[in-house]
Each structure stands twice: as C-alpha cells, then as structure tokens.
Structure 1
C-alpha cells in the first residue's frame, strides 16, 4: 500500500490527513474515511485500522479535526461539535473529488466521540454507503452521568471560566481529557487515564487537554437519535464494559435503526484499539465492509 500526506479545506482552515491506497491497480476503489474521538489524533491507532482496510482492498482517508494534531485552527485544542461535523462533511467532499476512488461508495469509521459524529454525518449526507460506529458516544446524558458527580462539578467550574475567558478574548481555560477518578477531567473512570496513555505512545501531537467550554455541550448532544434516520447499513461495535460511552444507551439507539448490526465485545472503552480485542473487532469490520461495500 501507499500512504501520502494530504490536506483539505474546512471552513477557514485546513484538515491534515493520510490517504492510503492499495498497491494493486484496478477499478476505482470504495473508500473508508476514519476520524477519532474526544481530543484524539490520527496517530492514536487509526492507522492500524486503515492498514487493515487497505489490505482488504479499500482506499482510506484518515484525518485530524481542526484545532488538533497536524490540522490548522486556533485556539488549539478547541472541540466544537459543529466544526467537527463540518470537518467530516469536508472530508467526504474531498474524497468525492479524488481520482482513482469511487466517490459514490464511501464508508465512515468513527470511534468514541467520532462514533456519534458519523451517525449525524451519514444522516445529513444521504449518500453514505455504510457506517462503522466503534464504542460510540451516542447519548450525552448517559456519558455525563458516567463521569461522576464530583468530576462533573469540577469540570463545569472550569467550563464556566473558559466561557468567560473566550468572551473577554483571553487565553482558554483547559480541562484534562482523562484523569484519575474524581479529577477535573472529562473522562475520569478508573480505566480512562491508563487507557488513553496506552494509545498515545506513538502520538507526539496528542495533548491531554481541551478547552473546557466543551463540557457544557456534552450532556445535550444525542447523535444516537439520528440512527433511526439512516437508510444505509451501520455497524454498532459496542464495548460491554464501557465506562465512557455506556453500551446500554448505544444499544437502544442502534435497535431503532432500520439497517443496524450490533456487536458487543467483552472489553472496556480503550481496549478495543489493542491486542486481541482489536484483532477480533477489525476482522468483523472487514467482513461488514465486504458484505455491504464489496471490492471489485
């Protein structure tokens, strides 16, 4: 396979990405677009999934959201739901313009918070061929409740300060993405800090912080509700012991989708990126793609 650095415009900035293509020539390839979750960057194992998809015959685009990783955008570490949805739409538009790929056969792969975003993107687009939603954030209330009262209070205080700082044009107030239980972090369950750390060994661009104002938007975002609007196949890959995006909430949303497949893995939110859990899941994903988006 080949991997080249690419970029595409989104709003007033550019998103950086990697474009993977199989080494063998042939008919235009169906393409999988991959995006990460809460504060994640493409080096945090998205390349591992992309490599498996390319080996199975697909082209792949992996990208960083604006304000994160190698992409543009100021202030850094700003997580804005509307902007990230726009980044996904820009990535789809970019792929549809590429030569050598089949722009009418595009699959979306989103993980964690990205697993919720891809539901929204596919519902709005109407032309997406398939969706893989891995350990997805589908229900803001369920995820906020999973954070625990003490962490929620601490992060809310930081978020309020950050909103004031933004209004006054001051330096953003940051909150940790992951931390120990009861800490002022967005993810504070017992497995969150070591789980995130395990994914960042090969991601020098990763920063364990985000502009705290995002915390005020978590509890009111319910992308899972749009699953019922999808007319394309969607695979919900749930982690049974998920402490970040509770599987029960995602299962309820998935059961309302007309063309959903729901698979549960006996692991935690961060385990699915590594080891046996990764091998099991990525094999299921390739099978799902081959059934619904076959390679010529």
Structure 2
C-alpha cells in the first residue's frame, strides 16, 4: 500500500497552514490494504471519490461504490490508533492541515465538524467554487496539477481568524520541561479553566490535556527520527520529558497499541517522513 501514497507540498502562501497534500489511488477493483494511523495534532481532511464507508471508534473501512459520489471527512483527533481498511478502487486526496491551519478555511468551530463518527464535512458545500473544485480535482491524474488545484481553492477560501491567546497557550502546553498545569496556563491569560477548555476544544478539536498528550507523543517521534544523538529508547523518553520509562510505555500503549520498541520497529515513514503508518502485511 505504501507505494500508493504520494505527497507534495502546498504553495508558499499556504505552508504556514498546510503540512502537505497526499494522494492514495488504485484502479484495481480487487485492491485491498490495511494500515494503522496514529494520533496527531494536525488535522487530516480527506476527500474520497466513489466510495462508501463503515465507521467504528477504532476502525474506518472504505469500499468502492458503484454510485458516483464525493465525500469529505475531517478525522477525529483520536487518543488511540485507527485502523483504516481499504478495498476496491480508491481515489483519495488528503489535505494535512497544521495545528491551527484548518480554522482559517472553515466557518464554524473545528469541534463541530470533525467526522468519521459524525456526519460528513459540509463546511464548503455552499462555496460557489466548490463544485468546480471537486470535478477538477478528480479529472486529472497529475499530482502536481492536483496540488495547484487545491492551492487555488484554499486561497479562495482563506479567511484568517484571530486566535487570541491560544497560540501562546499551545506553546506553553508544549513546553514539556516546565510542564505547567492546565490551571496555571489558563491563569496566565486571565481566563477561567472552563472557558480555556471550551475555547481550546473549539479551535483544536480536543481538550488541552488530550492535545498535550498527543503533542508529547509526536515530540518523542521527532526525537527518535531526527535527533541523531538519541539512540536508546530510554534516552528518547528522557529527552521527551516523560516522567519515567513506565509512563513512557503507558502513553505509547494508549496511543499506538504497543510499547515504544515494537512501535518503532513496525512503522513506515512516507512522503519525506511527513506520514507515519503501520501497514498490516497480507
């Protein structure tokens, strides 16, 4: 399946908001693949052509549909691995938005549109450019041209919103060395804990506690892959500011379903290391 994943970067104007676009395509009606995706602070918005779905909390199945359709989902920020099971022809485009990125392209709180367990993403359905965008996106196979089509549509949608104190709050949450409590972070911005949690979830789709857990997990992955001085897993846990090895193992088991050693042996890095999946071999 990994050979069917291809990534490209957005245009310069969008790089502040979008990590990459990636594409999954197979014209083989007997095609099957399974992979696990893992919690991320980024938001994956996926567009499928001619597909039907079966969604469960830990499993998302995609099948070829004989009825022409376009369907869009923004994946829930899960606190556990998600099995993605694909069968039949598949044609999928995914926009991987950075932490705050998607908020500048939608008209409602992120917490209300995150799908797979909810309704489809409909925030763009009333956009006059949307029908042409969908047709154009799937009428060609050239991925660079697909990227330009997405660039154009997103730039038309772009409506920056004020993020108030939330960007600074995320920076404090991700300072794992200081490890400030959620209460202290809220107090620094003179907001109640209740308001802080509500505002945070509206924009980022998860609570501050859940976000910190995912961010620390992703930080440890960065240390493993890109900090060459850290070789042993005990070093990775320490430098990623996990309390101890037991806690390090506990968080990894919760977010990946396995311990760190097993996780790092089983995953594959795709698209200049922007994507990390665990493919289930046949």
- Shared fold per TM-score greater than 0.5: no
Q: Which has the larger radius of gyration?
A: 2
TM-score (norm 1): 0.28
